[in-house]
Amino acid sequence: MRVWNLKAQTILAFFLVLGIGMLLLNAVSMQLWKRQALSADLDHGRSLLAAMARNLPAVGGAERFSTEVEQIVQSDAAVVCVAAANAQGKIINISGGCEHFTKALEGALANAVHSGAANSRLLSPPPGNDSNLQNNVLLVAQPFRSPDGSRGGVAMVRSTEPIDGQLWENEKIILVYILANAVVLAVVGFFRMVKLVVRPLERLAEQADTYSLRHDFLPFSGRVGNEFGRLSSSLNRMIAQLEEDRGALMQKVDSLRLANEELDRNRREMVRAEKMASIGRLAAGLAHEIGNPLGVVQGYLDLLGQGEVTSDERKEFARRAEQEVTRVGRLIRQLLDYARPVEGAPAPLRVRELLADCLELFRQGKVDGHIEFSFISEADEDLVLADGDGLRQIFVNCLMNAVDAIGPLPKGRILARCFNEQEGDRRYVRVVIEDNGPGIAQEHLESVFEPFFTTKEPGSGTGLGLAVSCSLVEKWGGRMWAESGRGEEGRGAAIWISLPLAPSASGGDSPSDNGMAA
């Protein structure tokens, strides 16, 4: 169907182009023919006026003038009226039918008498329906000198209707020939165009849709040297180059895919290594903290074994021992939650609850007994899309760095704040973890998130904690940066974490713990 539409459009275009061209040629030709016909009619009118002038008497003779006019009208039906003027250019005789052309005749006769030269021009038909003239008329005027020596001028108004009628008859014959020629030439041109252009292009399109490099892409057998043959050869070379480039691109894509997989594996190993280091340090602190509750439980068990203990005392000892065991279980459960593998799928979670849980882990673990942990929550909305294990690792890494920075100080303070912030058309929840340590040097602020960068003593850190944390935050659509209050009394480094709120986030489900401190 598409091919037939193309062919129909082709033959229609040929027909229209040929028809328009022939009509333009015909219009130009008709104008030339009309000009030639008017020139011949003008010469004929001048001949009639010259014959009439030779027979006009020098003086008077209205009857003689009328006789001459009648003879002219009888000899030529195109004559509308005739007029004559004296040597001063004033009309002395005028025939009937010239009522509408009197002014034009006066001007033409006066010009002919005074200049001694003939003149002519086309006049519009008279207005109204009182005249049979529908087309333009030709006014011819020329001077004369009679045999007796008198001078004057004669003029004639001629109708162009006979010329227009003859031209229209010829025009109808020409239009028939134009139509026939346009049809014949369009059909012939169509078949030639189909043979030379349409069919080769169809074969080109068909082979381009299902090209194969096993065969030459040359649909113009026997016409290799023409334009379409050269086009086919160019397409062959282009397709071969495209196939070669496609193969090279596929190799690059495969190599990039393997490289991305390797980078992903390395990143997971980095996260795992950093987490294991943090777990070791947390476990060392928890081991000492768990020993105290176990000692208390052992003491209560010894008291329960004594016979002089009353029933109420037994219940109280059992209750306290149960509290200590519950405390140990909670510490172990928190450590196991943190030790779970990262890379879970992002899911809605509450930032405040997770941050408070991590702070509780450090408080209970007594990582360093001289450090005070505080938490202030000012966030009305804290629901984000993130991986809970990954976000817990980020918080633990930041808290661990703060603990290491405070290490030598006699009294350390770590403050975690959570609040909302508007950026453009989105709302964010921001977490900042501050310490009162020595801070970060200004030249290191941009480097602390680079892999393997650390200011700790050799063997004290891997330099991967903040790099892994920043990578995870950016993966969830947030950002992470560091600030330093070095030189400001009572304030050290601050690590900022900004995460976009989940689309379904509304007012916080749980009340804000404004001002909550350890």
Token duo for residue 182: 């346009």
CA angle 465, 475, 377 (to 5 degrees): 70
Residue 352 has pLDDT above 90, yes or no: yes
pLDDT at residue 185, as a whole number: 77
Beta-ladder partners of 493: 484
The answer on pLDDT for 94 being more than 90 is: no
Residue 375: what pLDDT?
A: 93
Distances from the Cα of 151 to the Cαs of 69, 113, 139, in angstroms? Answer: 19, 8, 20
Average pLDDT over residues 241-269: 86
d(CA 101, CA 154): 14
Chain position carrying tokens 């004594």: 306
pLDDT (mean) for 247-266: 88
Among 61-65, 77-81, 305-309, 510-514, which stretch is predicted with the lowest mean pLDDT? 510-514
In the Cβ-directed half-sphere of 218, how many Cα atoms lie within 13 Å?
15
- Return mean pLDDT, the chain: 76
Percent of the chain with pLDDT over 70: 70
Residue type, 218: L
Q: Is the pLDDT of residue 478 over 90?
A: yes
Residue 10's pLDDT is what? 67
Angle, alpha carbons 279-285-290 (nearest 5°): 110
* pLDDT score at 487: 42
pLDDT at 241: 84
Pairing of strands 79-85, 412-423: unpaired
> Alpha-carbon distance 391 to 375, whole Å?
17
Average pLDDT on 139-165 reads 82
290 vs 282: CA distance, rounded Å: 12
Q: Which of 71-80, 86-95, 220-229, 376-385 has the highest mean pLDDT?
A: 376-385
CA–CA distance, 308 with 327 (Å, rounded to integer)? 28
Q: Tell whether the model's pLDDT for residue 256 goes beyond 70.
A: yes
